[in-house]
Amino acid sequence: DVKVTQSSRYLVKRTGEKVFLECVQDMDHENMFWYRQDPGLGLRLIYFSYDVKMKEKGDIPEGYSVSREKKERFSLILESASTNQTSMYLCASSLVGAGTGELFFGEGSRLTVL
């Protein structure tokens, strides 16, 4: 059974803190994605990675960075958390080529920044 695991389901952080969200997939997928989901705005792409150490900005990369040191792991970093980064964060993975777009999602990490 395919699996994308996000390390934390719920986090509460303070403004200015550094936040790490981790995601691990066991499907040997090349692509990994970080989205945030907000009411009325839908899913918005933050960053994605198509290979180890490779990354591409999505639609809303400001205030975020990512790291992909191993194929199975993709981390999202908030260098200095702000209240407008309170959101649900979803990690996903997929194959490259024709399989791209057939995303498998993790359970999500709900981040609250106070």
Partner 1 sequence: QKEVEQNSGPLSVPEGAIASLNCTYSDRGSQSFFWYRQYSGKSPELIMSIYSNGDKEDGRFTAQLNKASQYVSLLIRDSQPSDSATYLCAVRVGGYQKVTFGIGTKLQVIP
Closest to partner 1 by CB, 13 or 44: 44
- Provide the terminal-to-terminal Cα distance of the chain, rounded to the nearest Å: 37
- Cβ atoms 45, 22 nearer than 8 A: no
The yes or no reply on residue 7 touching partner 1 (CB under 8 A) is no
| Count, residues near partner 1 per rule CB under 8 A | 27
Within 32-91, the residues that bind partner 1 by CB under 8 A are: 33, 35, 40-45, 48, 50, 56, 58-59, 90
Burial class (CB in 10 A: 0-12, 13-18, 19+), 94: buried
The yes or no reply on residue 100 touching partner 1 (CB under 8 A) is yes
* Shortest Å distance, C-beta 114 to partner 1: 22
